[in-house]
Amino acid sequence: MAFLDEGFAALPFDALRSAALERAAALGCRHADLRIEKIRTQSVVLRDARLEGAVDDVTIGMGVRVVLDGAIGFAGTVEVDVDAAASLVARAVEAAKVTAKAGGEAVELADEPDHGTVAWTAPYRVDPTAVPLADKIARLGAWSADLLAAPGVDHVTASLLCVAEDKYLANLAGTVATQRRVRLQPSLEALAVNEDSRSFETMRTVGPPVGRGYEYLDGDGWDFAGELAELPGLLAEKLRAPSVEPGPYDLVLDPTNLWLTVHESVGHATELDRALGYEAAYAGTSFATIDKLGQLRYGSGLMNVTGDRTAPYGLASIGYDDEGVAAQQFDLVSRGVLVGYQLDRRIAALTGIGRSNGCAFADSPLNIPVQRMANVSLRPAAGRGPTTSELIGSVERGIYVVGDKSWSIDMQRYNFQFTGQRFFLIDHGRLVGQLRDVAYQATTTDFWGSLAALGGESTYLLGGAFNCGKGQPGQVAPVSHGTPSALFTQVRVLNTRAESGR
């Protein structure tokens, strides 16, 4: 376990496991698991190259989940010792007994093999949480100063969020999994003011959050230096750009924009607990209900979407989920048809679909695992496939959209609207300048049905977010979404300025 945080690795895992699981077995639990976690979260924010705030937070604790009398019980604590482990089991058992008295359907967990003693670590070189704060401030400060020195840039906000997550999981089936993953999210946003028109525009970097180490900021996975050099010119052009004429357009969506559309219209819609109504009180339901499995025409025949807990550098990539299920890749949409869902062990058993595909996660040792999203990704065109430039070259009148910004979608994941960071008018296969005030609007099936071409592997990129929300009490989870560049035909485009009444 040399890859673990030194202090975390020194915990008496064997003694804690014995205290918890032996007590659970003695109390008649059909299933029990113990999670011990240390999560270090750092945040740094600079405003105009000056430090605005910094946070370095550590959460450490244990959580125990049991299944008894057809009900789940859970308890968590920040204490990490043998007595606390045994006490947690008693509390979780009592919670299960109270829940069982409330009635409702009996809880079963789908079978999962005993994986024995296993270890997994994310692929990274430099733990981002181990880099001194002064180095992070210096890096963000230098980047900010370069932007502020450019003509027309009035303000710059820079931020960096870093997480290191150490986890130990043991269950009654015999699986003992030790894991470590890291992730980071850099962002710089520049603001320019047009005094004559009394208007302003912003433009943010589109380098995605990733499950990589600090080497990411040195160009391993994204050319930050190149993007920052282009940003002032792009922002100046955007400030002078004409407002979009609303109407139907062919859209070439860059993966830096399309990942969010995948997340909202496919990722959430194919969470089976949501499709069954279990999230209706908070996060909503799904139009992709289970009676439509194998029948729903989700999109064109070019649309192939997978769930994947194994993708290199994915924010939701792991070795084993929080129920001890081995990470997998699985189909959600195949040739435009809904063919699968994201599952945890409870939902898999409830529906009789089979084995879980490893989608259980808790954002803290003090929270119970719930079904969470895998890295849900749109597959690129087979073979070489077209480049982004070639997709643009095939469009007579359209818009090329780069980067994500605001969005809106209904509670069934069906009617939506998305904006972006940068919009370029396409005229007879050529980019002829930027536009402002663009949003595209559609229903999920109409939008994906209009998918006319996919970029090749060279256009494929993992986007994502740190803060996907779900559950009551609320939890957040990191998740990535890979997409190629893609062409959608005759999508409705709105003018957001006109729609707002300005």
Interval 212-246: pLDDT, tens: 999 999 999 999 999 999 999 999 999 999 999 99
Same domain membership, residue 216 and residue 284 = no
Same domain membership, residue 154 and residue 86 = yes
Q: Around 192, how many Cα atoms within 13 Å sit in the side-chain half-sphere?
A: 22
- Res 224: pLDDT: 96
Same domain membership, residue 275 and residue 229 = no
pLDDT above 90: residue 350? yes
Q: What angle do CA 352, 353, 354 make, to 5 degrees?
A: 90
Residue 427 pairs in a beta bridge with: 397, 430
- 325 occurs within a structural domain: yes
Same domain membership, residue 410 and residue 289 = yes
pLDDT above 90: residue 60? yes
Residue 461 pairs in a beta bridge with: 483
Interval 108-144: pLDDT, tens: 999 999 999 999 999 999 999 999 999 999 999 999 9
Among 180, 213, 240, which residue terminates a domain?
A: 240
Interval 407-462: pLDDT, tens: 999 999 999 999 999 999 999 999 999 999 999 999 999 999 999 999 999 999 99
Give 2's pLDDT tier (boundaries 50, 70, 90): low
Among 207, 225, 240, which residue terminates a domain?
A: 240
User: How many folded domains does the chain comprise?
Assistant: 2
Q: Among all chains, which residue has been given the structure tokens 């995605």?
A: 208
Give 498's pLDDT tier (boundaries 50, 70, 90): confident
Whole-model pTM: value is 0.96
- Res 189: pLDDT: 98
- 129 occurs within a structural domain: yes
* Structural domain harbouring 35: 6-240
Same domain membership, residue 423 and residue 398 = yes
- 1 occurs within a structural domain: no
| Percent residues over pLDDT 90 in the chain | 93
Same domain membership, residue 133 and residue 226 = yes
pLDDT above 70: residue 1? no
pLDDT above 90: residue 203? yes
Burial of residue 436 (CB within 10 Å: 0-12, 13-18, 19+) is middle
Q: Which residues contact 138 (CB under 8 A, 6 or more apart)?
A: none
C-alpha distances in angstroms, 174 versus 26, 50, 283, 323? 16, 51, 34, 12
- 166 occurs within a structural domain: yes
Select from 167, 201, 159 the least CA-distant residue to 184: 159
Same domain membership, residue 147 and residue 254 = no
- Average pLDDT score over residue span 348-354: 93
- Res 125: pLDDT: 95
Round to whole Å and give the CA distance between 194 and 192. Answer: 7
Q: Which two tokens stand for residue 407?
A: 């969005």
pLDDT above 70: residue 199? yes
Interval 68-100: pLDDT, tens: 999 999 999 999 999 999 999 999 999 999 999
Q: What's the chain's average pLDDT?
A: 96
Residue 360 pairs in a beta bridge with: 371
Same domain membership, residue 110 and residue 65 = yes
Same domain membership, residue 302 and residue 220 = no
- Structural contact between residues 329 and 375, judged by C-beta atoms closer than 8 angstroms: no
pLDDT above 80: residue 262? yes
- 369 occurs within a structural domain: yes
Report the b/e string of 69-107 with b at 16+ CB within 10 A: bebbbbbbbeebeeebbbbbbbbbbebbeebbeeeeeeb
Same domain membership, residue 264 and residue 158 = no
User: Domain holding 16: CATH number?
Assistant: 3.30.2290.10
- 269 occurs within a structural domain: yes
Same domain membership, residue 255 and residue 198 = no
- 189 occurs within a structural domain: yes
Same domain membership, residue 298 and residue 230 = no
Among 223, 240, 257, which residue terminates a domain?
A: 240
| Percent residues over pLDDT 70 in the chain | 99
